[in-house]
Amino acid sequence: MKTSSHHLNDRFSHIYVEKSLLHSKDVLTIKTKFPKATIVEIEHYKDVFNRTSQEYREQKKSLSLILAKKENPFLYKGSNFSDDFGFENFFYTPSMLNCLYDCEYCYLQGMYQSANIVLFVNTEDFFAQLQEHLNKPTLVAISYDTDLLAFDPLNQVTQWLNFAQIQENMHIELRTKSANYRPLQKLKPNDRVTIAWTLSPQSVIEKYEHKTPSLKNRLNAIKILSEAGWKIRICFDPMLDIENFSEIYEPFVDEVFSEIEADKLSQCTIGTFRIGNKHLKNIKKMQHSALAFYPYEIKNDMALYPKKRNTFLIETIEKIVLTYMSKDKVRVWQEQ
């Protein structure tokens, strides 16, 4: 039986704020953006976010926001599940924990006990720590355990891009499924900033990428920003091994390239769904998505599609992509 949503509080009806931040400028900004929200004073974000006995799926139906000050460390080494694009220095920054969207394959479900969103307000501390590494080319993924462009009440994307503008060794990767191109439209395009847009067929979006913008709206955002001169990477990643894979994914790739000029794209990445086995086990406990119960192969503690099937999925799409883009612009995610 479906839950009656009118018995639930609206998203961000409650905002938990660390005591030390209660009167800060950022919190006042948030209060004006969510004027009906009840503010609950907390000592430390972990008192709420890391509580025992939480239910991720239930909380996802009525998200709360937690405003906090991040403590050291502010940078983390990029994971093996991600492409480092050849950068020796590859970090990700957790400016925010969790995401507004609700993709059934998302590892965040298996990573945190809570679905509530933690927003760290002290962006300047992230910058200070990053500065120590900027003596050589450094890639920073700023939208890693979240989708920063989808929910950015403090304009952190703009703050990051402005910082990157003056740091010559700093390269930014901004991953998103959002259709929110406006913050970037206001800024000068920067060659060292790549916006990585995850694209999926509309039927996959409807079935598995809940609360995300439609393919049409994502393509529209890409078109606007690529024409404005921003570096865009489109990501057919993660591709899902669904029934009628070829019938769904092949026309989808053609649709993408009929809407966007391939020449205006900096890169295309192709990859199939993969997830850490520990996260997969946690997601299975929720018994929420069929994707968690696919008979994956477990290799080096990573759940992957069976090799033969994986090769088929990749090659099917790579073949079509290569009719639009040259090989040097196409990256295929390979197991490390």
Binding site for another protein (CB under 8 A): 1, 3-4, 6-9, 13-14, 16, 38, 40-43, 47-48, 51-55, 58-59, 61-62, 64, 284, 287-290, 293-295
In this complex, which beta carbon is closest to another protein, that of residue 35 or of residue 295? 295
Closer by beta carbon to another protein, 55 or else 335? 55
14 vs 233 by CB, closer to another protein: 14
Closest CB 143 distance from another protein, rounded Å: 27
Q: What is d(CA 302, CA 19) in angstroms, rounded to the nearest whole number?
A: 40
E strand map for 37-169:
38-42, 65-68, 76-77, 89-92, 96-97, 102-103, 117-120, 138-141
| Angle in degrees, 0-180, between the axes of helices 245-259 and 307-321, rounded to the nearest 10 | 30
Helix, strand, or coil (residue 148): coil
Give the C-alpha separation, 245 to 191, whole Å: 35
The least CB distance from residue 132 to another protein, in Å, is 35
Residue 223 beta carbon to another protein: minimum distance, rounded to whole angstroms: 35
3-state secondary structure of 331: strand
Q: CB of residue 133 vs another protein: minimum separation in angstroms?
A: 36
Shortest reach from residue 123's CB to another protein, in Å:
26
Which C-beta is closer to another protein: that of 115 or that of 195? Answer: 115
Q: Which is nearer to another protein, 62 or 123 (CB)?
A: 62
Nearest to 288 by CA among 157, 30, 67, 105: 105
CB neighbour list of residue 117: distance below 8 Å, 6 or more residues apart:
63, 64, 65, 66, 96, 97, 98, 99, 100, 146, 151
Q: Which is nearer to another protein, 41 or 168 (CB)?
A: 41
> Least separation, in Å, of the C-beta of 288 and another protein?
8
How many Cβ atoms from other residues are within 10 Å of residue 43's Cβ? 10
